[in-house]
Structure 1
Amino acid sequence: MKKINKNLLLLLLSTVAFFSGCKQDTIGPLENSTTVPGQVSNVSVTNGPGNATLTFSLPNDKDLLYVKAVYNLSNGQEMEVKSSYYGNSLLVEGFGDTNEHEVKIYAVSRSEVASAPYVIKVKPLENPIWGVYRSLKAVADFGGLNFKATNPSKADLSIEVFVQSKGKYVPTSKNIYTAAIDIDQSVRGLDTLTQKFAIRIRDRWLNYTDTLFATLKPLYETTIPKSTYKEVILPGDSPQEYSNTGVSKMWDGNIIDWPSVCLTKPGVLVPQWVTFDLGKLATLSRIVIWNYPEYLNAGRTYYYGGNLKEFEVWGTDSPPADGSYNNWVLLGKYNSQKPSKSAYGVQTSEDYAFANAGISYNFAVGLKKVRYLRIKSINNWQGTTFMSVSEVQVYGDPR
């Protein structure tokens, strides 16, 4: 019994010694020194659209950890950007005007001790949102509005749409978010009545342009029901690769499973096309296409293989029996892009969601009524011409 008590006492003493020897982990500076680092030097400024690039020489300080710039935007928001001791430049951005702005540059040590500030003035060029605003054209579109503009700086921006209700403009939640150079996008789901709209452009730092006002009447649009679609086989149309795939699989309601796909011949290297009948004449507004997601990397991948990349859609009210393009009109020519712009075979969650929801391709406003459509593949994502399309849905005005 005494031996057991003695062992227990030793265990308790060891435990106390262990915990008394432990130190609580704290998050803090890498080192503990009060030495103030030197300032950066040889600072130069290159003003850009809504931003400025600062280039500098680092102080000769072994404890230097990073350099930071601190500045304020016009709305009072304080901004801070950092560069490690491996770099010699900083980008200060988010400016909504072309006024002079004061920037303070600090060298910071491993002990988080900052140098005296090096104060410099920047004078940014015009924010890109203003060039986009001046080029912006808003017109009535099927079920909504279409916006065209140029954005040469590829600035991340939002086109915000407001509609007048009870004497004041209220948000529509139909905003467009884009960084495209050539903006050509539509918002839909708006009432087809003449309405007063207000449109403005915003960047991610909450800089706003003036407001563009327009009175527009969205055009009527409805789905052209798939129950009336029929396959049409004309001379020159591309045959299927397998007997269990087919053009009619593009309106069976299945967007993902094999063999619910229109799959033409992979071995044919010239442009390929298929033709189908909508069952009724209509002024068409757009077509939504669901490409077939290939099995890749233990998952399903769009923007791959025979998925449509560069293609055309043609329409006619009466297709020639010889299969030629006589009496056909070009409804649209398209070049599909991934939202992420990532490499071939690479797919982000955003890429997948975008394609899985169906990609909408607009037709020009004012075209004649058509009944028959032809999808022509010029280049697929693989770099050949066969197509693998799971589903289509056509919209327009059949009245």
Structure 2
Amino acid sequence: MSSCSDEDLQTPLEHNNTSPEQVSNVQVENFPGKAKITYTLPEDQDLLYVKANYLLENGKEVEVKSSYYNSNMLLEGFSGNKEVDVAITTVNRSEVSSEPVNIKVNPKLAPIYDVFESLETGPTFGGIYLNAENPDREDIAILVMDKDSQGDWVIDDNSIYSSTDEIKQSIRGMDTVQKEFAFVVRDRWLNYTDTLFTEIKPLFEQAIPKSGYRGIVLPNDAPRHDSTPIEGLWDGEIMNWAKVYLTKGTYNEGPHIFTFDLGVEAQLSRVKIWDYPEYYNGRTYYYKSAMKRFQIYGSTELESTGDLDQWILLGEYEETKPSGLPYGEQNDEDYQAANSGFSWDIPIDVPKIRYLRVLCLENWGGGEALAIGEIQVYGNPN
């Protein structure tokens, strides 16, 4: 029997002190914020990997490794504002390195700059909205800043962190006063764009009290699931069975639609809906009867026949999964977005509304039945 220390275990098993040969025929392809290098490997029998070392424009040191099975590697993290020196070395199984091959890469501007150029901001009910295009689905942050009581810029805790291709989000809970804001886009490598400065005055809204909500059954409303009363839509429980609302999945005699009374007339600003997450792999959103495409109708006076031609179409909406993952799969960003509820804006030019109808055009499972955890309507009743 024998034993060895931790120090012994960390020693290379081979002892070849001869430096390996260098890579050759190095080619560079430059992309936005990235560079792909291709090379010819040496014929050393104990070659273990190739590594590239470089310094980002923000001072961060980066090392990228690629095994001897590959003849290329992707270098990332560049802002794209200048040419960067890269040292490429080969390493054998004894962790002995070759002399470096020094090259230069000149990546194009990083994707954050296109995101910044597409950034739109403005007032919305109870806050501000941010729209931006992120076609490469990069992990980015849109940092939202305002001034504290000392007049210093501070980052809002509700800044946007996303990898979705179309960013459409709002930050709410703000007073309806003119206020200075600043916006900057950052990537995971801590590259930053310039700063957009603007003044925005949020529009007034308040949560329409759920105490006044009540269900109404019109002739063409879909029957509900036997275990889920319509009151589950406004009982404060956003996800757990059976304090949610589902229409009967076997119903096929008409659209899956339900109706309810807000209890007051109000100039509506948005309807916030929490989808019902199925008990699948824990709790899964964007699944089965959760609404994917739907319409919201409104009326000031109750039209009792259910004829939709007599109702005002307030909007047609489509839910998207931030990650773009296949059906039945979700990541943490997907979960957090759905668990926080989706807000669906109502046009500002519609009259005051008291009665609402929600019609599911297509659920995530491909059918028309709907499943909702909770609903909250916002607006101005004054």
Q: 2:94: which partner in 1? A: 111
Q: 1:279: which partner in 2? A: 263
Does structure 1 residue 139 correspond to structure 2 residue 129?
no
Equivalent-residue separation in structure 2 for 1:366 and 1:56 (angstroms): 61
Where structure 1 has 5 or more consecutive residues not aligned to the other structure, the ranges are 1-17
Equivalent-residue separation in structure 1 for 2:348 and 2:103 (angstroms): 52
Does structure 1 residue 177 correspond to structure 2 residue 161?
yes
Higher deviation after alignment, 143-152 or 266-275? 266-275
Q: 1:259 aligns with which of 242, 251, 261?
A: 242
- Cα drift, residue 73 of structure 1: 0.9
Structure with greater Cα Rg: 1
Do the aligned partners of 1:159 and 1:202 also contact (CA within 8 Å) in 2? yes
Cα 1:175/1:374, change in 2 over 3 Å: same
- Cα drift, residue 47 of structure 1: 0.8
Equivalent-residue separation in structure 1 for 2:190 and 2:43 (angstroms): 39
Where structure 2 has 5 or more consecutive residues not aligned to the other structure, the ranges are none
Q: Deviations over 1:31-58 (max 9, x none)?
A: 2211211111222111111111111222
- Cα drift, residue 127 of structure 1: 1.5
Equivalent-residue separation in structure 2 for 1:350 and 1:151 (angstroms): 15
Equivalent-residue separation in structure 2 for 1:80 and 1:367 (angstroms): 57
Amino acid at match of 2:274: W
- TM-score where L is the length of structure 2: 0.91
Do the aligned partners of 1:261 and 1:389 also contact (CA within 8 Å) in 2? yes
Alignment length (residue pairs): 378
Q: 1:218: which partner in 2? A: 202
Equivalent-residue separation in structure 2 for 1:349 and 1:153 (angstroms): 19
Cα 1:29/1:259, change in 2 over 3 Å: same
Equivalent-residue separation in structure 2 for 1:361 and 1:29 (angstroms): 60
Q: What do you get for the CA RMSD once the two structures are aligned?
A: 2.3
Q: 2:363: which partner in 1? A: 380
Q: 1:94: which partner in 2? A: 77
Higher deviation after alignment, 307-316 or 198-207? 307-316
Equivalent-residue separation in structure 1 for 2:48 and 2:317 (angstroms): 49
Amino acid at match of 1:69: A
- Cα drift, residue 344 of structure 1: 2.8
Cα 1:159/1:301, change in 2 over 3 Å: closer
Equivalent-residue separation in structure 2 for 1:240 and 1:173 (angstroms): 39
Q: Deviations over 1:149-170 (max 9, x none)?
A: 2222222211111113444433
- TM-score where L is the length of structure 1: 0.87
Cα 1:196/1:257, change in 2 over 3 Å: closer
Q: 1:194: which partner in 2? A: 178
Q: Deviations over 1:122-169 (max 9, x none)?
A: 111111111122221110112211011222222221111111344443
Equivalent-residue separation in structure 2 for 1:341 and 1:377 (angstroms): 21
Does structure 1 residue 160 correspond to structure 2 residue 148?
no
Equivalent-residue separation in structure 1 for 2:365 and 2:208 (angstroms): 31
Q: 2:20 aligns with which of 21, 37, 41?
A: 37
Do the aligned partners of 1:320 and 1:326 also contact (CA within 8 Å) in 2? no
Do the aligned partners of 1:41 and 1:58 also contact (CA within 8 Å) in 2? yes
Cα 1:88/1:396, change in 2 over 3 Å: farther
Do the aligned partners of 2:123 and 2:129 also contact (CA within 8 Å) in 1? yes
What pairs with 1:18-33 in structure 2 (closer than 5 Å)? 21-25=2-6, 26-33=9-16
Aligned to 2:309, what secondary structure does the other structure show? coil
Equivalent-residue separation in structure 2 for 1:32 and 1:56 (angstroms): 26
Q: 1:66: which partner in 2? A: 49
Do the aligned partners of 1:153 and 1:181 also contact (CA within 8 Å) in 2? yes
Equivalent-residue separation in structure 2 for 1:69 and 1:364 (angstroms): 53
